[in-house]
């Protein structure tokens, strides 16, 4: 089922202090004195994916600052995501933020948004389709480059055989990450598809693979929740493989600290949500566009246990 949540921003009069904003990271705590806007975000998030909680946190912060009403909806199925975008076009919102994990399913509805005069910013996935589909810009990391960074790090650590765990089959960004790992890793890489929204099933699949292929010495997961699942699978299998992951959350930072995860790749999801909402506000109030036709990059950055002291305070409040 699609999930729709409404987060109200500051007073529609603008310029009023936002008392709820203290201490949550970013912003002066005051809304701007500009016309009230309604900005929607539609993602391909599945159930239980904490990555999108962080994206929403950034978007909500920017909406409070910009005196905007923020609406969020998600559906892991491409058809459902497109239908949600259409619902916001029908509601005549002032701007739409959208992910392009399965881009072809979004092409027609984004064309309808453009025809209705609704500006669109894409985030996180499908950067190469953003301009083609009429978006103002794309905000996120280059997934192929991020994968290449992981491949180089695995080689530096002396790994020989990696398992790349894809938790959403057909997601172009996840496939690009594994492709990037293969491009720069000195060893071999094998992909494994699991159902990310079924943690027990994913754990069983990873465990079985590790038991069958005892020479795997690195497990690369493409999302923070799957990292936790893979740590458990490693223990089940009696494997000595190092678990490394894309993306951060409080759980991953805890496991970095405990040396249960070797390293993580941070693409700063808070920044993706924040900048997307802020860009739509800037475009509507001042005609600004970010990026000059190029994606606005928010990553990648390799983080290890050495970065934990700085990261803990941010992940604890849900902004990293």
Q: What angle do CA 286, 292, 297 make, to 5 degrees?
A: 105
318 — pLDDT class (breaks 50, 70, 90): confident
Of the pLDDT bands very low, low, confident and very high (cuts 50, 70, 90), residue 19 is very low
Tell me the longest C-alpha to C-alpha distance in the chain.
Answer: 63
Cis peptide before 300 (omega within 30 of 0): yes
- In the predicted model, is pLDDT for residue 20 greater than 60? no
How confident is residue 1, by pLDDT bands cut at 50, 70 and 90? very low
User: Does the pLDDT value for residue 91 go beyond 70?
Assistant: yes
pLDDT digits (tens, 9 = 90+) for 273-297: 999 999 999 999 999 999 998 999 9
Question: Mean of the pLDDT values across residues 191-199?
Answer: 95
pLDDT of residue 30: 60
> Which domains does the chain carry?
3-141+268-289 (3.40.50.2300), 143-266 (3.40.50.2300)
% of the chain surpassing 90 pLDDT = 85
**Alpha carbons 287 and 311: distance in angstroms, whole number:** 35
Spatial separation of the C-alpha atoms in residues 70 and 68, rounded to whole Å: 6
Q: Which residues have CB under 8 Å from 126's CB, separation 6+?
A: 99, 100, 101, 103, 106, 138, 172, 173
pLDDT value for 2: 44
* pLDDT at residue 179, as a whole number: 98
Measured in whole angstroms, the distance separating CA 86 from the mean position of its chain's CA atoms is 22
- DSSP letter, residue 76: S
Q: Is 25's pLDDT higher than 80? A: no
| Pick from 15, 20, 26: nearest CA to 277 | 26
pLDDT in tens, 33-56: 889 999 999 999 988 788 999 999
- CA pair distance 288, 290, nearest whole angstrom: 7
pLDDT of the residue at 7: 42
| pLDDT tens, position by position, 219-274 | 999 999 999 999 999 999 999 999 999 999 999 999 999 999 999 999 999 999 99
Quote the CA–CA distance of 181 and 147 in Å, as a whole number. Answer: 5
pLDDT tops 70 at residue 6:
no
Q: Would you say the pTM of this structure is higher than 0.95?
A: no
pLDDT tens across 122-169, in order? 999 999 999 999 999 999 999 999 999 999 999 999 999 999 999 999
Cα separation, 247 vs 45, in Å, equals 14
pLDDT at 188 over 60: yes
By DSSP bridging, strand 120-123 and strand 95-99 are parallel
How many helices and strands, by DSSP H and E, does the chain display? Answer: 11, 13
**Is pLDDT at 8 greater than 50 in this prediction?**
no
Is residue 60 predicted with pLDDT exceeding 60? yes
- Residue 281 is given by DSSP the state H
């Amino acid at each position: 089922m699609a999930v729709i949540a409404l987060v109200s921003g500051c007073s529609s009069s603008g310029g009023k202090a936002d008392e709820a904003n203290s201490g949550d990271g970013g912003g002066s705590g005051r809304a701007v004195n500009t016309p009230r806007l309604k900005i929607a975000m539609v993602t391909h998030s599945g159930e239980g994916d904490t990555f999108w909680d962080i994206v929403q946190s950034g978007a909500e912060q920017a909406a409070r600052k910009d005196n905007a009403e923020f609406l969020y909806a998600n559906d892991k199925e491409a058809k459902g995501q497109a239908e949600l975008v259409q619902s916001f076009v029908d509601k005549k919102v002032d701007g739409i933020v959208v992910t392009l994990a399965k881009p072809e399913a979004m092409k027609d509805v984004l064309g309808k948004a453009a025809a209705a005069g609704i500006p669109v910013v894409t985030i996180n996935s499908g950067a190469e389709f953003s301009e083609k589909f009429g978006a103002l810009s794309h905000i996120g990391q280059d997934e192929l480059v991020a994968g290449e960074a992981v491949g180089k790090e695995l080689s530096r650590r002396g790994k020989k055989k990696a398992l790349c765990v894809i938790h959403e089959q057909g997601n172009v960004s996840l496939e690009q990450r594994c492709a990037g790992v293969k491009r720069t890793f000195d060893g071999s890489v094998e992909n494994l598809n699991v159902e990310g929204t079924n943690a027990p099933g994913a754990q069983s699949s990873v465990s079985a693979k590790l038991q069958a292929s005892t020479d795997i010495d690195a497990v690369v997961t493409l999302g923070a929740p799957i990292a936790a699942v893979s740590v458990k699978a490693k223990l089940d299998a009696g494997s000595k493989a190092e678990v490394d992951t894309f993306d951060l959350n409080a759980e991953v930072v805890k496991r970095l600290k405990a040396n249960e995860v070797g390293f993580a790749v941070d693409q700063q999801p808070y920044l993706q949500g924040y900048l997307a909402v802020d860009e739509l506000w800037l475009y509507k109030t001042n005609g600004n566009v970010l990026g000059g036709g190029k994606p606005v990059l928010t990553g990648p950055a390799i983080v290890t246990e050495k970065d934990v002291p700085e990261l803990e305070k941010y992940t604890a409040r849900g902004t990293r």
